[in-house]
A and B are shown apart, each in its own frame.
Chain A
Amino acid sequence: MRRALRSFAILAIVVGTLGARASSAAEHGEVAVPEAGARMVPGGRPNPMHPAFAARDQSGERVTVPGQAMSAERTCGACHDAAYIASHHGDATAHASAPCVSCHVEGGQLPTDPSAWETDGTLRREAIRISSPRDANCGSCHAIVHTGSSPVVVPREFERAAELGHSPRFTLETGVVFSAQNLSDSFLNLAGKAARTYPWDVHARRQVRCVDCHYASNSPTRQTQRTGKLSFLSDDPRRIALSDFLHRPDHRLASAVCTDCHDASAVHEFLPYKARHLAKLECQACHVPDPMGPAARMIDATAVRADGAPLIAYRGRAEGRGEGLNAEVGTGYVPLLLPVASGGAARLGPFNAVERFFWASARALEPVSVDAVRAAYLDGPAYRPEILQFFDADRDGTLSGDELRLDSDGKRSLVAARLRALGVQDPEIRHEVTLHHLDHGVASGALVERDCERCHATASRLASSLDLGEYAPYGTPDPAAAPILGGAAASSATLVTAGGRLRIEARGVAPARLYVFGLSRSAWSNRLGLGVVCAVAAGVLVHAVLRVASRRRAGVTSRPTRRVYVYGVYERVWHWLMAASILALMASGLATQFGFLRPAGALPAMVRIHNFFAVVLTVNAALSLFYHLASGAIRQFIPPSHGLAHEVAEQASYYARGIFLGQPAPSAKSEMRKLNPLQQLTYLALLNVLFPFQVLSGVVIWGASRWPAFADALGGLATVAPLHNLGSWLFVAFFVLHLYLTTTGHTVLAHIRAMVDGYEEVEATDGAATGGSHD
């Protein structure tokens, strides 16, 4: 018996045969084959829990003739509270026309086959296929939601469904498709299709169904989202009874967010400044990289095609029109990244933008209904004679997309007259651009953009733009003045007209108070900093020219010198390590921020080099401070308490005059006094003000990922980063001056040589050495 059962178990798995030939055994009737319908697929079989019920018409009478008008409210409402459900619909306009059966019955309608019904109007038990909505139910309105193994295809009615309603027809508006299938297995013509062996949506692939995220918000079977009223409660364990729920399900559907299920911080180990990225970017920004489905860039509903669909232009398609959405090669597009307000802090999320033209009555806010516009153009399946007569420029009896454009006053007036005749008061064409957030079409980690320079560069995704329509109907005022609809994101985008085309551009990340290294530029700090650098460089240049010229004229003769041991070993190591660190910091900083001399893909390395040398510099400075304090050499840096003004004047006068006349430096360098008074003042400022400022601002920037509150308290990176930037320019300016002054010694290289071997050639003046060097 056990053996027999087991053999049946295996034999019963005559699964999904590819073609009839495979079910050989069935054809021959010799070997047991399971009956159809024995599968354990949810919804794929009668719902044994749902009670039998009778269909009722509007007046509540039992419908006994199959196909006779049946009221969903009366039928379902016999048990479920139809009034409650209707008043607890999240999107009443979208779902009001969808009766219960559209969403809850397999196939979207009750069976019309008379054999499914008892004679008294009761649906037979085995014909009850009622369940929570299946993906196919949702897909019947929300565009391409694909289940099953047949290839994904753009359905015939895809464009006709593009009415100017408010329901999220997410494929048309964003180009995303919800399907478990690999792109390579779809029916669509896609660029690089064979290599696209990844699914349209990774959630669909992993069997996350629509209702798993979009569930009735009072469903006791779902974890209720935290209300936030009591911070110490993460969940409320009390649930309403199932019977209460079934009686009064709240149809304001939940929209689970990524973090309801995912802990992004537990992964993304590869990502530098992970916390910062996760705080400032929506998951979708990276995980919806390039929608490959047909996404509209313009929907012109002022005219209708013969099939009743508006004129639609798509983005992410290879050139070549009129081949149909399945045959045209889809190339995908890169969505705009715009700030989405969420919980106070703006995060960047992906958007498509669609330009829309539609008829509206000047006296009403709502657009003219699609049916009215269709009636203005069409008489059944054909254009009205007067429309055809006026629009058909090439007299071929059909209207092409170009002919349908309302590009003349005549066409526009004719349609307006038709609409007036249909009862629309003062019809006018309205123009708007809508932003659509991308939430589906999610890609798994392996496919996600990981190239830092896609965002951290001048040509950044964060500063990208999208093409909109290439024409506007006659009489449209300045197209770039059209309103942009889309919440917080709308204020971060702007319309520009270029070459007769309207484009929408992200206005950069400044509106979101973000500072993105490699992209963001602080005009004032760069101008000020570069100005200082240029002024110093120009001054140095003039000084150098004058020095050379005067020396030649005066024929300066060298005076006798003597060798003095000025710099100890530690001082020299300390100095050169400092020099190397500052040079590395300047170079890596320039490379990070401006892409200056940066190899492709080297951004993370540049940031690491910068951080590394910042640490080297700081540690070196701290050790040196300890050395100078412990050894008392710190006195070298402290200006004399008496006669400073006089010494400064003397030294300044030397640089301004004496140096050209070949006079000796007012203070010769010695072991006792290595710095002249001007140097002492400069280093006092540099080491006590600029250096700590640069280190601290750098730490704040580096720590903005881990301790965002700290950076935010100081005004965020948008404030701190430009200051650090300015400090960097000041260091560059110091570097230029410092480098020049090393040449003012006994010979041009004397000071540099001294810093290498420790010995300085000092003018052999009589008396005690009281001066300093010049660098």
Chain B
Amino acid sequence: MAVLGGVLAALAMYVTGRPSALPPPVAPAFQRPTRAHLDHSPYFTSKLDTPQDVTRACLKCHEKSAAQMMTTPHWLWLGDEVTIPGHDAPTRLGKKNALNNFCLSVTGNLASCTKCHAGYGWSDTSFDFAAAENVDCLVCHERSGQYVKGSAGLPDPSLDLAAVARTVGFPTRENCGVCHNYGGGGQAVKHGDLDSSLENPSRADDVHMGSGFLCIDCHETREHKISGRAFSVSVEDSNGVACTDCHQAPPHHDPRINTHLASVACQTCHISSFARKLPTKTFWDWSKAGDPTRVEDPHEYLKIKGEFVYGHELIPEYGWFNQSVERYLVGDRIDPTTVVDLNHPRGDIRDPSAKIWPFKVHRAIVPYDVERAVLIPPITSGPGGFWHDFDWQKALELGAAASGLEFSGKYGWARTAMYWPLSHMVEPKERALTCDSCHGEGSRLDWAALGYEGDPIQRGGRR
């Protein structure tokens, strides 16, 4: 019996053969999240008059939530203290004080910008950041689809807040998208890789979200601290999200592809184009604003904002990026003869931590003080704002005062660029870039501009 058993055991091992040596494509680190959701409708039976009443009701059970939330950039619009390249003193940078080349600055325009603040009533500098009842739980957690925020982040007064509150649960793609898909005053103005097509996407739109992923599956959240970085308001990548959080090395079966990983970001090959369904804004010329004679079209010209260019199915621009950026801060001097980069990616071919990344680059022509060579964020909304009086002089004077800048009174137009590294709209692997996308004739990369001697398939990679 023992002899026969041994023979059969040996046979089974021999016939089934040795196990495959292929690496697992996805690390065991990734686990499909189990999301508990309690039906909250029994908790909101009586009428809720103010949004703060809703928050107070939430806090009865979720006692720590407001306190947690109030330490995060979603509430403060400021990040942790960091040292910004080219600047001596450490600074806290965030939406609150960072210049951009879209609507230019939050400062002085709070009420209209804070429509996207996860709080209630931030209309001026007197806002109390310690008032827990002003935290907006609903914008992230409601699922009625009816909740709309207006000026200073206050909800539409006609809403039945109790009805909205009954729908709460963990945040869905729509919750995040309501702000992040519409940043800059409209659909896909800022991000080229985030728009409403990702609310209900196909796998071709985004292989993760199209397979049922929610934002919070990758942007893991602990105690209301959401992981992830936007380099429009951040300068470094601590608490960032990376493909390798789930996808273990080596991710490809082909060793030729894996050798690229030292110099090429995953996103470069796996996001071959962006704004695939909805067009995104690539150029904004504020200097053309204010012309009452021009025909208005939200994708081409608005009197209050100027001239735009939108792009669709765009091929990214590529550059070195070590997941940190330089940053233009309010008051920095510019060289008006060149393009002013507000957040230029750091890293180059000699930086081993830098990889070639895909970017959406948004270029804009914005006002600056000709004598002091400083960008001046104008006041746009409200009395004296440009959208009100269409008077740049006045709007810039008020804006300079609000931002604590001196204004010589003479303004001109500066060329600026902002860089948006792409991480969403990841395509199914069949659509990833292939060798010939970058190598050989018809390459989408400019090897010389990236610092190579020539096409590395012939001249070798960086050393």
Contacts and interface: CB of A to CB of B under 8 A. Distances in A.
Interface residues of A, number: 59
A22 B315 contact: yes
Contacts of A197: 430-431
Question: Which interface residue of A25, A44, A182, A609 has the most chain B CB atoms within 10 A?
Answer: A25
Contacts of B417: 7, 11, 31
A148 B314 contact: no
B229 interface: no
A406 B310 CA distance: 61
A168 to B, nearest CB: 23
Given A9-B450, A147-B442, A31 B315 contact: no
Contacts of B440: 41, 180, 207, 209
Contact of B314 (A18, A32, A41, A604): A18
Interface in A1-57: 3-4, 6-7, 9-19, 21-22, 24-25, 27-28, 30-32, 34, 38-44
Given A12-B446, A13-B318, A30 B15 contact: no
A368 B339 CA distance: 69
Nearest to B311: A22
B399 to A, nearest CB: 22
B434 interface: yes
B436 A24 contact: no
Contact of A148 (B256, B335, B441, B458): B441
B217 interface: no
A180 B339 contact: no
Interface string B391-423: 000000000000000000000000101010000
Given A41-B441, A182-B434, A18 B345 contact: no
Interface string B304-315: 000101111111
Contacts of A147: 441-442
Contacts of A42: 441, 458
Nearest to A609: B15
Interface string A564-587: 000000000100010010000000
B209 to A, nearest CB: 21
A198 B458 CA distance: 23
B283 A24 contact: yes
A726 B333 CA distance: 95
A395 interface: no
Given A17-B314, A40-B448, A612-B14, A24 B282 contact: yes
Nearest to A605: B15
A206 B437 CA distance: 10
B7 A15 contact: no
Contacts of B449: 9-10, 12-13, 34
B339 A7 contact: yes
A10 B361 contact: yes
Nearest to A39: B446
Given A21-B311, A147-B442, A13 B317 contact: yes
A205 B446 contact: no
A43 B435 contact: no
B9 to A, nearest CB: 11
A4 B441 CA distance: 29
B259 interface: no
B15 A577 contact: no
Given A13-B319, A40-B448, A3 B344 contact: yes
A48 to B, nearest CB: 14
A149 B3 contact: no
Contacts of B285: 28, 30
A604 B18 CA distance: 13
B310 A25 contact: no
Contacts of A4: 335, 338
B87 to A, nearest CB: 14
Contact of A18 (B7, B307, B313, B448): B313
Question: Which interface residue of B273, B285, B338 has the most chain A CB atoms within 10 A?
Answer: B338
B15 A15 contact: no
B11 A184 contact: no
**From DSSP, what is the main secondary structure of chain B's interface residues?**
mixed
Contact of A40 (B273, B348, B454): B454
A209 B449 CA distance: 25
Contacts of B326: 3
A683 to B, nearest CB: 23
A10 B311 contact: no
B154 to A, nearest CB: 36
Contacts of A612: 10-11, 14-15
B10 to A, nearest CB: 7
A616 interface: yes
Question: Which interface residue of B256, B312, B440 has the most chain A CB atoms within 10 A?
Answer: B440
B309 A24 contact: yes
Contacts of B17: 604, 608
A21 B454 CA distance: 29
A148 B62 CA distance: 59
B131 to A, nearest CB: 43
A167 to B, nearest CB: 24
B4 interface: yes
B3 to A, nearest CB: 6
B365 interface: yes
B363 A25 contact: yes
A518 interface: no
Nearest to B359: A10
Contacts of B11: 609, 612-613
Given A13-B318, A608-B15, A609-B11, A32 B344 contact: no
A577 B441 contact: no
B455 interface: yes
29 contacts: A9-B449, A10-B317, A10-B319, A10-B345, A10-B449, A11-B317, A12-B446, A13-B450, A15-B318, A15-B446, A18-B273, A18-B312, A18-B314, A21-B311, A22-B314, A24-B282, A30-B363, A30-B415, A41-B442, A42-B441, A43-B441, A149-B442, A205-B434, A207-B439, A207-B457, A269-B21, A573-B3, A577-B7, A608-B14
Given A9-B449, A15-B445, 8 more contacts: A10-B344, A18-B315, A21-B312, A22-B311, A30-B363, A38-B446, A148-B441, A577-B4
Interface of B: 3-4, 7, 10-11, 14-15, 17, 21, 253, 256, 273, 282-283, 285, 307, 309-315, 317-319, 326, 335, 338-339, 341, 344-345, 348, 359, 361, 363, 365, 415, 417, 419, 430-431, 434-436, 439-451, 454-455, 457-458
User: Which 9 A-B residue pairs are closest in the complex by CB-CB distance?
Assistant: A24-B309, A197-B430, A180-B436, A24-B283, A10-B319, A207-B440, A12-B449, A608-B15, A22-B311
